[in-house]
Chains A and B, each alone.
Chain A
C-alpha cells in the first residue's frame, strides 16, 4: 500500500516541484515537442470529427422538437435532458461491449481505433447538441418558420432560413459539445486504449503521464485544455450575447 511518504509532492517540495514541472511544461509546448503536439492533434481530430458526425442529426432533432407537435415529443425532450448527465465511462463501457470481439459489431474490428473514439464521443455530445439546439430553435419563435414558409420557401429552404436566424445559438451548442468531449477521459480510455501515436489524446495522456510521475507533460497538456476551456467559454459568451441581441 502506498504511504504518504511515497507521494512525490510533499510539503515545501510541492511548490518547487510544481514550479519546475510547469517550467518544463512551457518548454515542451514552446519547443514544439513532437509527441506532445501529436497528442494535441489527435485530440482535436477525433473530437472535431465526432462533432461533425453528430451535429447534423442532433440539430435536426432539436429543430423537430422545437417546431413540431407529435405524441412522444415531451418524452424525447426529457430523455435528452436526462442523457446530459450520462457518465462518459458508461458510454465507454457500452461502446466497448458493442465493438469488442464478442460484441454484435465485433467483426468491424474498430475497438482501440480513433473511429471507436469518434463513435463514443459522438454519443456523448449528441444530448448536448439536441438539448442546446432545441433551446436555440425555440428561442427563435414560430414566426421565423411561418414567415419563411409564407414567403414561399420549401420546407428545406425554410429550415435553413431558421438555422441562419439562430446560428449563434447553434454555434454555442457546437462549442459546448466540443468542450464536453475533448476533455473527457473515461470513454476515450476504454474504447481507444491510449495507444501512443494513434489513440492517445490529451485527457488519456494526462492520466497516464501523471501515473508515471511525468508531471511536465501532464501540466503542459492540462494547460492546453485550460486554454481551450477559456477560449470556448469566451466564444460561448460572445455567441450567446450575439444570439440574445438578435432576438
Chain B
C-alpha cells in the first residue's frame, strides 16, 4: 500500500528513489507510467481532475517505464528503435533521429545485431535509446544499473546525462544512490508506504 505520495517532476531533473525491498518502488513507478491501476487515486492535470482512464492515456503518452531487465523485441537493435518510434514511419527525419540516438548511445556498431543476444548492459542502453527515440518527457527507471559491470555503468550514466541535458525528467529507483551522484538533483525515500524528500 502506498499513501502520501506527491512528486513534482521538472524538465531536466534527475531524481533518485530509494527504499527497502518490497517498499513499493516498482509499483509506484508502474502507477506513474499508467501500467498499474491504483486502488484509489486523485489525479489533477492543470487544475482539472481526471479519471484514471483519462490519466492513463496522458501517462502512456508522456512517460516511459524501463524494467530492471528490459525486454528486447525480436529482431535487430535498429528494429527495436523503430518499434519505439511514435511516428512509426520510415521518414528521413525518423531515420536520421534513430541514427543519432544509435551513435550517442554507442550502439552504432551493434545496430544490426539481434537485440536478444546482447549483454545486460548493452540491452539497458538499447532500452534507453528506445526511450530517447520515443521522445517521452518523463523517464522512470527501475534499478537501471543493477548487475552491470563498471564499464557498462559508465556508458549508461553517460547516456542518462545526455537525456538529462536534453530536458528529460528522470526518476531512477535504486539501492545505490551513490552510483548516480554526478547526475543527482533530488533524493527521494519511500519508507513506511510514504514518500519523503531528503
Listed in ascending order, the chain A residues whose CB lies under 8 Å from chain B are: 141, 143-144, 146-147, 149-152, 161, 164-165, 246
Q: Give chain B interface residues in 111-165, CB to chain A under 8 Å.
A: 116, 130, 134, 136
Q: Is the CB of B134 within 8 A of A146?
A: no
Report yes or no: B35 in contact with A152, Cβ–Cβ below 8 A: no
* 9 tightest Cβ-Cβ pairs between the two chains A and B: A143-B71, A147-B71, A150-B65, A151-B84, A146-B35, A152-B86, A150-B64, A143-B67, A151-B134
Q: List 30 A-B contacts (CB under 8 A).
A: A141-B71, A143-B69, A143-B70, A144-B73, A146-B35, A146-B65, A146-B67, A147-B71, A147-B73, A149-B35, A149-B60, A150-B33, A150-B34, A150-B35, A150-B64, A150-B65, A151-B83, A151-B84, A151-B130, A151-B134, A152-B60, A152-B61, A152-B84, A152-B86, A152-B134, A161-B73, A161-B83, A164-B73, A164-B74, A246-B74
Is B168 among interface residues, defined by CB-CB distance under 8 A? Answer: no
Residues of B within 8 Å of A146, CB to CB, are 30, 35, 65, 67, 71
For residue B63, CB closer than 8 A to chain A, the reply is yes
Task: Please determine whether B64 and A144 come into contact, CB atoms closer than 8 angstroms.
Answer: no
**How many interface residues does chain B have, given as a range?**
20 to 34
Chain B hits for A149, CB < 8 A: 34-35, 60
B residues less than 8 Å from A152 (CB atoms)? 60-61, 84, 86, 134, 136
- Contact A150-B60, Cβ < 8 Å, known A161-B83, A246-B116: yes
The CA of A149 and the CA of B134, in the complex, are separated in Å by 12
Taking a contact as CB atoms under 8 Å apart, the answer to whether A165 and B35 are in contact is: no
Across the interface, which residues of B come within 8 angstroms of A144, CB to CB? 71, 73
A76 CA to B113 CA, complexed, in Å = 41
B 42-85 to A, binary, CB cutoff 8 A, 1 in contact else 0: 00000000000000000011011101011101100000000110
Interface of A is mostly: helix
Contact A150 B116 (CB under 8 A): no
A142 to chain B, nearest CB (A): 9
Q: Decide if A165 touches B67 in the complex (CB within 8 Å).
A: no
**Distance in angstroms between the alpha carbons of A246 and B74 in the assembled complex:** 7
Please give the distance in Å from A8's CB to the nearest CB on chain B: 55
Chain B contacts of A147 at CB under 8 A? 67, 70-71, 73
Q: How far, in angstroms, from A161 to B74 measured CA to CA in the complex?
A: 10
Minimum CB–CB distance from A34 to chain B (whole Å) comes to: 45
Q: Which of A144, A147, A150, A164 has the most CB of B within 10 A?
A: A150
A141-B71 Cα distance, complex, nearest whole Å? 9
Complex: A143 Cα to B34 Cα, angstroms: 14
